[in-house]
Amino acid sequence: MTQDITCISTMLEFKFSVYYAHDKLDDFISTINSHLQPLFMQIRKGMSEGDGRAHYALVNLAETEITKMASDYTENELELFRKTMDLIILSENGFASSTDILNLTDQLKTKKMKKKEAEQVLKVFVEDKWLSERNGEYTLHTRCIIEMEQYILSNYQDVARKCNICHSLAIQSQICESCGIGMHLPCVRKYFRAQTEPRCPQCNDFWSCDIPGMNRIDSQSPSKTGRAEKSFILGTRRC
Q: What is the pLDDT of residue 135?
A: 93
Share of the chain above pLDDT 90, in %: 44
Give the DSSP per-residue string, 140-184. E-HHHHHHTHHHHHHH-TTT-EEBTTT-SEESSEEE-TTT--EEE
Q: What is the pLDDT of residue 20?
A: 60
Residue 67 pLDDT level (bands cut at 50, 70, 90): low
Q: What is the pLDDT of residue 200?
A: 94
Average pLDDT for 118-124? 96
Does residue 15 have a pLDDT over 70? no
Please give the model's pTM, rounded to 2 decimal places.
0.75
Q: What is the pLDDT of residue 103?
A: 94
43-52: per-residue pLDDT in tens? Answer: 888 888 888 8
Q: What is the pLDDT of residue 96?
A: 97
Q: Which helix (H) or strand (E) holds 26?
A: helix 25-36
Give me the residues paired with residue 53 across strands: none
The CATH code that applies to domain 66-156 is: 1.10.10.10
Mean pLDDT, rounded, of the chain: 81
Q: Which helix (H) or strand (E) holds 59?
A: strand 54-60
- Phi and psi at residue 28, to the nearest 5°: -60, -45
Does residue 120 have a pLDDT over 90? yes
* DSSP state letter for 212: T
176-225: per-residue pLDDT in tens? Answer: 999 999 999 899 999 998 888 899 999 999 998 888 776 544 443 333 33
123-175: per-residue pLDDT in tens? Answer: 999 999 999 999 999 999 999 999 899 889 999 999 998 999 999 999 998 99
